[in-house]
A and B are shown apart, each in its own frame.
Chain A
Amino acid sequence: MAVQTAETAPPAAANPVLGPAFKDALIVGLIALGLFGPLIGFETVIIDGALGLAYRPSLLAIMVGIIFFGRLLLNLTLWSPNRKPSTHTGPTLFDRAGTVMGPGVKPALLAFAVLFPAIAIFSLGGLNESRYLIDLGILILTYVMLGWGLNIVVGLAGLLDLGYVAFYAVGAYTYALLATSAPINDFFAGLFGATFWANWAFWICLPMAGIFAGVWGMILGFPVLRLRGDYLAIVTLAFGEIIRLVLINWVDFTNGGAGIASIPRATFFGIPFNAGPDGFAALFGLPFSPMHRIIFLYFVILALALLTAFVTVRLRRLPVGRAWEALREDEIACRSLGINTTTTKLSAFATGAMFGGFAGCFFAVRAGFVSPESFTFDVSAMILAIVVLGGMGSQIGVAVAAAVMMGGMEMLRNLGFLKQVFGNDFDPSLYRMLIFGFAMVAIMVWKPRGLVSTRDPTIFLKERKAVSGDLVKEGHG
């Protein structure tokens, strides 16, 4: 009823806004009070070894107050019946910015990524001072790569995969197990010298980790891909958890929850980054610094990420890539055109898994330590969030989303100012995920199809026209 009167009434001045808005905010505030009362108002404390209750009325008041005034503010502004609904569809600011800057964006971002270590070193005035920023850069690029890998499965083929972290884990453990294996080390020691395996393990295992993860993608994909939609999502989620549980419980093989430590570090194509006479610094006549390895790792992950992007862009223009997208659009039509949907889905799953495996191998060599703790569902959720936020199927959108999300998560670690609002015993880092969640919801309301919602056609006759996101389907399975 309320909606109807709002629609039929002349828009200006006729609606009393303040009264209903206040009433609505009051009701919502009361609901919040009811909900938060038990949740926030009480706190369990241990008094002399016994469990007791403490009360937090001020925190409760602050929370309910935020809800009440927030709702009131929204009622008076965004949700006000007098406000003309904005009927803005089609390309958004971000899309238009993309088309205007179009050809310039990608080279500019690439140049920035390549020059990033130099910029970090010069702006922070030294190798060691830049460590934090370059580490962050490595983290972001790892997630860019993972996002691009998952994008093949979710964005192009439209298969909702909630267990992508499984392939990341397979890649990491492939490297960790092979590189620390004594028999392999002895074998190569007999052939090429004692330090051969430690120096070359990463470069030999990197392709193997990718291939292994790809094979695992096929093995997992085969029984799973006849499922669609929600079922597929749940089963992939389960597979992600199963792999992690196997890693925890198969102690003889994986060393269980304790993880695998002292994994050989990355080398400059066989030259170790150490202070010795055969080390990188000595050979290149530089003063030794542990930062050389970090900067090198940055360029390794940059190269891996670019490889992922390059292969994806190429594949999209090949029949297999078009079949992936056609599968996302309409599976039945695909079958009526002679496309074997099972092998097409498997190829998408395996290709995505392969890049996850590369990234996992890189993760293991960077950290020098792997344990099942690093491969929880959180990671899958994060990668999926990056893909969805970036705009499914868009390379540049995913890269920007990864930078925003990972960079944003880091920034949220420094929420010291909240202490001034809530008092000194308030731990702001606990609220990181909450704020993060709010940001996600806000972005999904504002841009439901992700940052880049248009689709770039893979072939054209006369003119390349972007396809509006409204027409592009998300896929059903």
Chain B
Amino acid sequence: MATSPANGLPRWDADPILIVEHLFMRFGGLIAVNDLSFKVGRGDITALIGPNGAGKTTVFNCITGFYKPSEGRLILAHGRAPTPGEIAEVTRIGERSLVGRNAGVFLLERMPDYRVSGEAKVARTFQNIRLFTGMTVLENLMVAQHNALMAASGYSLKGLFGLPGWTKAQKAATAKAEYWLDKVGLTDRADDPAGDLPYGAQRRLEIARAMCSEPILLCLDEPAAGLNPRESLELNTLLRAIRAEHGTSILLIEHDMSVVMEISDHVVVLDYGTKISDGTPQAVKNDPRVIAAYLGVDEDAVEEVEAELQLDTNPTGAGA
């Protein structure tokens, strides 16, 4: 799954959709993200894990434009992997993006949050759910299609007079919303206020809402938090379906190891803002640094374990 047979490279190296390079994020004296580099493969489910306060949400906020990174480059590639020449070119000319016919390179650190979503097509969910609670479930999904509908309504002029082009677009948008309602099993609750839904349903609605904006990369901040085991299983199925049927790449933060090991193709481990491991779930699971970080063993002990296992500190050597 994770390796492309052609050249033996893991997919995140062969065809990355997102390349994070030397990302730093400082809050005053606190360095929340410290020289982080990793790649997200196109069509992969990538998990970003790490203990509490490791800086995972901060990385998400940098990718989606909510924070401006202190340093670093965030490259998002539409269509195919960008060539080093293209990346150098867009960096040099000082534009936000370089878009060709079948491919595009976006420098996310140069884009404000709404453009990351609207133009670069990166959608996200939040660790503490952010639904429009006073609006109905269906309305939440309609708001997610704002940019497409805005253009179809002639920036409100066509819509004000109810011209046919607008009516058709509205019907299509409703159909898409219905499709996603069906996918997340909320069709019966379509006309209820989003704030009335139980917690698990709110989490699924937030994913459906993000998907209604037609992203190529979906960033999920702890989607399984607070879900019971059955809901957690359903979530795995949903994420796999999203990847299989829509080709959307998924980057997720998760604490629940069973979920991570079950569905991800690639795992990146963060501790104190630094990457300590990067590779397939199997490789990461056996990485002594990861074990140490999760069990809270101190550094000396890690070195001992490493010596015993005679392992490289970075088993796959990916990233950088």
Report which A residues bind B (CB closer than 8 A): 311, 314-315, 317-320, 322-323, 325-326, 328-330, 332-341, 455, 457-465, 467-468, 471-473
Could you give, for residues 143-179 of chain B, a 1 whenever the CB lies within 8 Å of some chain A CB and a 0 otherwise? 1111101100101100110000000000000100010
Residues of A near B153 (CB, < 8 A) are: 318-320
Q: Given A338-B114, A468-B193, answer yes or no on A318-B133 (Cβ-Cβ < 8 Å).
A: no
Which residues of B (110-148) have their CB < 8 Å from a CB of A?
113-115, 117-119, 123-124, 126, 130-136, 138-139, 142-147
Q: How far is the CA of A317 from the CA of B114 in the complex (A)?
A: 22
Flag if B143 contacts A334 (CB, 8 Å). Answer: yes
Q: How far is the CA of A465 from the CA of B135 in the complex (A)?
A: 11
Q: Given A319-B153, A322-B143, A337-B213, answer yes or no on A471-B133 (Cβ-Cβ < 8 Å).
A: yes
List 5 A-B pairs, minimum CB-CB distance, nearest first: A338-B118, A472-B134, A329-B132, A338-B117, A471-B195
B274: CB under 8 A from chain A?
no
Can you sample 15 A-B contacts with CB below 8 Å?
A319-B156, A320-B155, A329-B133, A334-B143, A335-B117, A338-B119, A341-B114, A459-B136, A460-B136, A461-B174, A463-B191, A465-B192, A467-B135, A471-B133, A472-B133
Flag if B191 contacts A336 (CB, 8 Å). Answer: no
Residue of A nearest to B195 (CB): A471
Residues of A near B178 (CB, < 8 A) are: 461
Q: How far is the CA of A335 from the CA of B118 in the complex (A)?
A: 9
Q: How far is the CA of A472 from the CA of B133 in the complex (A)?
A: 7
Closest CB-CB distance, A83 to chain B, in whole Å? Answer: 31
B202: CB under 8 A from chain A?
no
Q: How far is the CA of A461 from the CA of B196 in the complex (A)?
A: 17
Q: How far is the CA of A340 from the CA of B115 in the complex (A)?
A: 8
Q: How far is the CA of A320 from the CA of B150 in the complex (A)?
A: 7
Q: How far is the CA of A385 from the CA of B118 in the complex (A)?
A: 37
Q: Given A318-B160, A319-B159, answer yes or no on A459-B134 (Cβ-Cβ < 8 Å).
A: no
Flag if A314 contacts B134 (CB, 8 Å). Answer: no
Residues of A near B124 (CB, < 8 A) are: 336
Residues of B near A340 (CB, < 8 A) are: 114, 118
Count of chain A to chain B residue pairs whose CB atoms are closer than 8 Å in the complex: 141
Flag if B138 contacts A460 (CB, 8 Å). Answer: yes
Max chain A Cβ within 10 angstroms of own Cβ: one of B139, B145, B153, B187: B139
Partner of A333 from the list B126, B159, B191 (CB cut-off 8 Å) is B126
Q: Given A320-B150, A473-B133, answer yes or no on A337-B144 (Cβ-Cβ < 8 Å).
A: yes
Q: How far is the CA of A32 from the CA of B114 in the complex (A)?
A: 55
Residue of B nearest to A393 (CB): B134
Residue of B nearest to A325 (CB): B135
Flag if A325 contacts B132 (CB, 8 Å). Answer: yes
Flag if A467 contacts B190 (CB, 8 Å). Answer: no
Closest CB-CB distance, B185 to chain A, in whole Å? Answer: 15
Flag if A465 contacts B160 (CB, 8 Å). Answer: no
Flag if B131 contacts A330 (CB, 8 Å). Answer: yes
A332-B66, A460-B191 are known; give 13 further A-B pairs, CB within 8 A.
Answer: A318-B149, A323-B143, A325-B132, A325-B134, A333-B132, A334-B114, A335-B114, A338-B115, A457-B138, A465-B191, A467-B134, A471-B133, A473-B133
B78: CB under 8 A from chain A?
no
Residues of B near A458 (CB, < 8 A) are: 139, 142
Max chain A Cβ within 10 angstroms of own Cβ: one of B134, B146, B149, B213: B134
Flag if B160 contacts A337 (CB, 8 Å). Answer: no
B64: CB under 8 A from chain A?
yes
Partner of A336 from the list B117, B134, B196 (CB cut-off 8 Å) is B117
Flag if B190 contacts A319 (CB, 8 Å). Answer: no
Flag if A338 contacts B191 (CB, 8 Å). Answer: no
B209: CB under 8 A from chain A?
yes
Residues of B near A332 (CB, < 8 A) are: 66, 126, 130
Closest CB-CB distance, A226 to chain B, in whole Å? Answer: 12
Q: Given A455-B134, A467-B135, A467-B136, answer yes or no on A319-B150 (Cβ-Cβ < 8 Å).
A: yes
Residue of A nearest to B160 (CB): A314
Partner of A471 from the list B150, B191, B196, B209 (CB cut-off 8 Å) is B196
Partner of A464 from the list B117, B133, B134, B191 (CB cut-off 8 Å) is B191
Closest CB-CB distance, A49 to chain B, in whole Å? Answer: 64
Residues of A near B119 (CB, < 8 A) are: 338
Q: How far is the CA of A463 from the CA of B160 in the complex (A)?
A: 24
Q: Given A319-B159, A338-B114, answer yes or no on A465-B134 (Cβ-Cβ < 8 Å).
A: no
Flag if A326 contacts B114 (CB, 8 Å). Answer: no
Q: Given A329-B135, A457-B136, A463-B191, answer yes or no on A336-B159 (Cβ-Cβ < 8 Å).
A: no
Q: How far is the CA of A333 from the CA of B128 in the complex (A)?
A: 11
Residues of A near B196 (CB, < 8 A) are: 471
Flag if A315 contacts B130 (CB, 8 Å). Answer: no
Flag if A333 contacts B130 (CB, 8 Å). Answer: yes
Residues of A near B133 (CB, < 8 A) are: 329, 471-473
Residues of B near A468 (CB, < 8 A) are: 193
Closest CB-CB distance, A327 to chain B, in whole Å? Answer: 9
Closest CB-CB distance, B176 to chain A, in whole Å? Answer: 13
Could you give, for residues 191-235 of chain B, a 1 whenever the CB lies within 8 Å of some chain A CB and a 0 otherwise? 111011000000000000110010000000000000000000000
Residues of B near A318 (CB, < 8 A) are: 149, 153, 156, 159-160
Residues of B near A337 (CB, < 8 A) are: 117, 123, 143-144, 146, 209-210, 213
Q: Given A318-B160, A322-B146, A332-B66, answer yes or no on A465-B132 (Cβ-Cβ < 8 Å).
A: no
Residues of A near B195 (CB, < 8 A) are: 471
Flag if A459 contacts B117 (CB, 8 Å). Answer: no
Closest CB-CB distance, A103 to chain B, in whole Å? Answer: 18
Q: How far is the CA of A467 from the CA of B191 in the complex (A)?
A: 9
Residues of B near A333 (CB, < 8 A) are: 126, 130-132
Residues of A near B191 (CB, < 8 A) are: 457, 460-465
Closest CB-CB distance, A85 to chain B, in whole Å? Answer: 25
Closest CB-CB distance, B106 to chain A, in whole Å? Answer: 13
Residue of A nearest to B161 (CB): A314
Closest CB-CB distance, A335 to chain B, in whole Å? Answer: 4
Residue of A nearest to B132 (CB): A329
Q: How far is the CA of A471 from the CA of B193 in the complex (A)?
A: 8
Closest CB-CB distance, B184 to chain A, in whole Å? Answer: 15
Q: How far is the CA of A320 from the CA of B152 in the complex (A)?
A: 12
Flag if A330 contacts B160 (CB, 8 Å). Answer: no
Partner of A326 from the list B135, B149, B160 (CB cut-off 8 Å) is B135
Partner of B139 from the list A311, A334, A338, A459 (CB cut-off 8 Å) is A459
Q: Given A334-B143, A335-B114, A463-B191, answer yes or no on A320-B134 (Cβ-Cβ < 8 Å).
A: no
